[in-house]
Amino acid sequence: DQQVKQNSPSLSVQEGRISILNCDYTNSMFDYFLWYKKYPAEGPTFLISISSIKDKNEDGRFTVFLNKSAKHLSLHIVPSQPGDSAVYFCAASARAGNNRKLIWGLGTSLAVNP
Amino acid sequence: DARVTQTPRHKVTEMGQEVTMRCQPILGHNTVFWYRQTMMQGLELLAYFRNRAPLDDSGMPKDRFSAEMPDATLATLKIQPSEPRDSAVYFCASGSGRGTNYGYTFGSGTRLTVV
């Protein structure tokens, strides 16, 4: 049972346009959300995160929006660049005692076309 | 840049053989994770350690998999005996768990093929 769902396995966007990657979750105990980017033959790299006390976090071209009532978050990339082509993973975590672990979505493969 | 180092990068082995994957976490990171990535399951957490103590290995098939941290600079994941269904990319990640950024640093992975 996937607690974190990325329903679009792939997305194709034109260079310079906005890329919007979506993620839905089911566990209302999640209080921290992260996006990772993964290139082929490399490990995922941390991109941006958001705490559940916020609804938006921005870092350069990347913005993450959180809608807690809908249990939905999205990653916006503006403007998209060919180097952004990668697989993007959404992850969520909840505190369980002193421990945290991440629950991951299956990823969305983004292709930014020149 | 500090990095998580995993060895080997690639491993091809025959069914039934023992496989050991190694990970050197970033110095000062006290949390280490082992993940397995497959097409169908995405990133699955196999085990994680804090301060070298195993906190959760519920994602790991106990009969054949074992994870250890003999010291703060080395984490190992062992499969004995290996099976074709173990073929996947295995990632190690480390983190400090401090502050509001819970992002972890991943290694480049070990691509395991069991034939």
The CA–CA distances, whole Å, from B27 to A75, B32, B75 equal 31, 11, 12
Query: B113 — phi, psi (to 5°)?
Result: -125, 120
* Adjacency order of strands within the sheet including B74-79: B5-7, B19-24, B74-79, B65-71
How many angstroms away from the CA of A111 is the closest CA of chain B? 18
Residues of chain B with pLDDT > 70, as a percent, come to: 94
The reply to whether residue A43 touches residue B43, judged by beta carbons under 8 angstroms, is no
The reply to whether residue B56 touches residue A101, judged by beta carbons under 8 angstroms, is yes
Q: What is the pLDDT of residues A76-93, one digit of tens each?
A: 999 999 999 999 999 998
- pLDDT of amino acid A82: 97
Which residue among B4, B48, B105 sits closest to A101, beta carbon to beta carbon?
B48
| Contact yes or no for B114/B10 (Cβ under 8 A) | no
Which residues in chain B touch residue A51, judged by CB atoms under 8 angstroms apart? 100
The reply to whether residue A43 touches residue B97, judged by beta carbons under 8 angstroms, is no
Calculated CA dihedral for residues B90, B95, B101, B105, nearest 10 degrees: -40
Q: What is the pLDDT of residues A1-39, one digit of tens each?
A: 689 999 999 999 999 999 999 999 999 999 999 999 999
Q: What is the pLDDT of residues B59-78, one digit of tens each?
A: 888 899 999 999 999 999 99
Nearest CA in chain B to A99: B55
Mean pLDDT along residues A43-61: 94
Interface of A with B in 3-32 (CB under 8 A): 32
| Contact yes or no for A64/A57 (Cβ under 8 A) | yes
Residue carrying the six token digits 């979750």: A25
| Contact yes or no for A73/A66 (Cβ under 8 A) | yes
